[in-house]
Structure 1
Amino acid sequence: MTTTRDAGEIAVAFSRVLRGAGLTVPTSSTIAFAEALACTGLGDREETFWVGRTTLVRRPEDHELFDRAFRVFWEHVEAGDLEVIEDEPIDLTLAIDDDSLDGDDGPDDAAGSDDPVIELRFSATEVLRNRDFADYSAEELVEAQQLMSRLRLVGSPRRSLRLTTSANRTNRPDLRRTVRAAMRAGGEPVRRHHLTPSTRQRRLVLLLDISGSMEPYARALIRFVHAAVAGRQKVEAFALGTRLTRLTRELSSRDPDEALRRAATRVADFGGGTRLGDGLAVFNDEWGQRGMARGAIVVILSDGWDRGDPAVLGEQMQRLHRVTHKVIWVNPLKVTPGYAPLARGMAAALPHVDAVVEGHAIDAIERLAAEISEP
């Protein structure tokens, strides 16, 4: 078999084929399949078959469908249909046509096979969802921008001091509306009105590390930050490098090219060093403690590599966590096999973080959006 795909890419592609066929394949099973393939290799078809069935199939009734899907999928692998084309891996989904089971087969079905027809379809969008941002071309970054602009970044609501009408009679009476209704009814309080505290959207604060170590990912993550700022209200954006730079105004334009151009003009230290602790100290002193971070959801997008004193970063993270609703750290390196938070900055920040998520691809950003929505 000749293919440029490694075990991980084969595992992801085949898992998606099985999901398209209707099988339930959790991410943990895909990871187990990839790890097993890394040990056994891809040279022996029969061995790969049993590795896949052992790790990906949980119910005996799914064996038959798995066998057919594997047979068709592996024929495409051996034929070279999964080769990288122009440096872009082609992803696969699976469609099953059950019309052949109805007995109304065409002339091409003279063999009389009762097996459903399995077809493979190519999806460039699914490729981008799982492809590492560091491998994106300029054209793919534009496509990624469109995908990220569809994300809904809705945090859990917070209670407001403002009151709104309530149908619950146990809430606070609305005397003004009750009296007005009584006057319209000849002075009789026919209907009593009540009030309850309203809710409002929590502020979302995004702090993007633009240091040299983050450069392969920052060019994609800045597009996510723009999509967040342009797509909803109450979003603040900052760049963290050798200094802290507020980018909310520059990224508020709905034109991505214009927004990124203005942000690039504003940021003078892109690709340089980073002093996360000092930058967070400025944010806490000038913005966070004044109310921007109070009750907000704060997302830090960084690999945790810091040239400053880790004790300073730990102290500032503690200050930040004390006033926020939630602190989420997005680390693109978390996807690396065997990853551990060994960077001094990451280790210092970890005790004051509510969640650490990956940030290397579109599907990781989708998981980030889900994490932001969690109460």
Structure 2
Amino acid sequence: MADVPGIGTFTPADGAQGTGKGSYACAPSQPRDVVDTVLGFARTLRHAGVPASPDRVEAMLVALGSLDVLEPGAVYWAGRLTLCAGPDDLDRYDAAFAVYFSGERPRAPRTVGKPEVRLAASAPLEQGTGDGDDETDAPDLAVQASADEVLRHRDVAELTPAEREHLRRLFALLAPATPMRPARRRRPDTRGTIHPARTVRRALRSGGEVTRLMHHRRRTRPRRVVLLVDVSGSMAPYADALLRFAHAAVRARPSSTDVFTIGTRLTRVTREMRLRDPDRALAASGSAIPDWSGGTRLGEVLKAFLDRWGQRGTARGAVVVVCSDGWERGGADLLGEQMVRLRRLAHAVVWVNPHKGRSGYEPLTGGMQAALPSVDHFVSGHSMAAFEELTGVIQRA
């Protein structure tokens, strides 16, 4: 795509795209084309649910042609006026802009004489939820952490309705990476093992003299990821967040990701999770799950999964993620036996327990003690930061 006349280059800070790290800054040492940056921002908006169509992206590029692209406020308003289709898109646009460019939403200039209001370091995320000091002569305190950063480390079960709504927007911007595995086929490459046939064919074209050794290496293919989400009563405070994480994983790689819910029954909700809108996907999944907020029979349900799906190839060579607190109402011995079977089939077994994020937690329940010997990675899943860590664990596995 050709450069747009009148537009220079600007660079989001390292890791700003989709990660929420860094800051909006100019980096002359590593310039980035404005068109590529705007296209990447449009992809982030579409993941967040904003219909940033190609004609709207083109309109933003035309607007930036007459503005200073190094000014965050100009870029913010150019995108907001061209990429947003209605009032419902404004909040999602603000969240996507803050994450992509790692900066807060630019604000309009303050009127003369209006007192400047600054938040304290311990300010709550919404009004009327914290204890304040009524003294008028108290010094203003600078903000030490943004609301997004504070919310990333909060326990999901302790959030208010407004904070849960904010967390849903962050989940819409989450892009889990996919683990890769070597494929059987090979492809030409500058490194790797020597390809005798290609080397000989090249030598024949040059009169029979070997002037260059040809190499090839194995291709990579996405490794299947299987998520088993516990929707029993003890996991009710975390079920919504876990299913939203599962939706983000399916959205990132629909063809190689499967989602099941476990409780007293096994339910496959992969088809429902493939809906683009996360709220619609969770509503469809809730209608398909018959044992929502019921009991827990991990051993029996895991056996049903392995008998019906695991042996047929769904779990074979896959990264299996079990999201449960380990409360087993059945026999723990059965759960231990099925975990051994799962470990033999799967490439890696990851167990996500939201209670692990609490200080002083120890896996003392019978279900966790029976399962842990067959678990490769034991992680927490109680906050947004924990889910971001989980994406790295799945990718490295």
TM-score w.r.t. structure 2 length? 0.62
Aligned pair 1:157/2:198, yes or no? no
Amino acid at match of 1:165: P
CA contact (8 A) 1:229 1:235 kept: yes
Q: Quick one: which of 239, 244, 260 aligns to 1:223? A: 244
CA contact (8 A) 1:208 1:222 kept: yes
Give 5+ residue unaligned stretches, structure 2.
Answer: 1-22, 24-118, 132-139
Aligned pair 1:135/2:176, yes or no? no
Where does structure 1 differ by over 4 angstroms across 4 or more consecutive aligned residues?
Answer: 83-90, 177-192
Describe the superposition over 1:186-227 as per-residue Cα deviations: whole angstroms up to 9, x where unpaired. Answer: 776655533322222221111100000000110121111111
Q: 1:319 to 1:153 in 2, by over 3 A?
A: same
Q: Per-residue deviation at 1:76?
A: 4.9
Q: 1:193 to 1:214 in 2, by over 3 A?
A: same
The answer to which structure has the higher helix fraction is: 1
Q: Quick one: which of 117, 123, 130 aligns to 1:82? A: 123
Corresponding residue pairs, total: 271
Give 5+ residue unaligned stretches, structure 1.
Answer: 1-19, 21-74, 91-116
Q: Quick one: which of 273, 283, 296 aligns to 1:251? A: 273
Q: Distance in 2 between matches of 1:194 and 1:162?
A: 14
Amino acid at match of 1:148: F
Q: What aligned pairs does 1:294-313 form with structure 2 within 5 A after superposition?
A: 294-313=316-335
RMSD value over aligned CA atoms? 2.8
Q: Quick one: which of 108, 125, 136 aligns to 2:148? A: 125
Describe the superposition over 1:31-71 as per-residue Cα deviations: whole angstroms up to 9, x where unpaired. Answer: xxxxxxxxxxxxxxxxxxxxxxxxxxxxxxxxxxxxxxxxx
CA contact (8 A) 1:155 1:374 kept: no
Q: Distance in 1 between matches of 2:390 and 2:130?
A: 24
Q: 1:174 to 1:265 in 2, by over 3 A?
A: farther
Q: Distance in 2 between matches of 1:345 and 1:118?
A: 48
Amino acid at match of 1:269: D
Aligned pair 1:202/2:223, yes or no? yes
Q: Per-residue deviation at 1:155?
A: 4.9
Describe the superposition over 1:110-168 as per-residue Cα deviations: whole angstroms up to 9, x where unpaired. Answer: xxxxxxx9832562212321121112344433432332344443354322111111223
Describe the superposition over 1:78-119 as per-residue Cα deviations: whole angstroms up to 9, x where unpaired. Answer: xxx6367447679xxxxxxxxxxxxxxxxxxxxxxxxxx983
Q: Quick one: which of 213, 216, 228 aligns to 2:234? A: 213
Q: Quick one: which of 152, 167, 170 aligns to 2:190? A: 167
Amino acid at match of 1:153: P
SS at match of 1:342: coil
Q: Per-residue deviation at 1:356?
A: 1.2
SS at match of 1:293: coil
Q: Which residue of the partner structure matches residue 59 of structure 1?
A: none
TM-score w.r.t. structure 1 length? 0.65
Q: Which residue of the partner structure matches residue 52 of structure 1?
A: none
Q: Which residue of the partner structure matches residue 310 of structure 2?
A: 288
SS at match of 2:237: helix
Q: What fraction of aligned residue pairs are identical, expressed as a percent?
A: 46
Structure with greater Cα Rg: 1
CA contact (8 A) 2:232 2:262 kept: yes
Q: Per-residue deviation at 1:263?
A: 0.8
Aligned pair 1:330/2:352, yes or no? yes
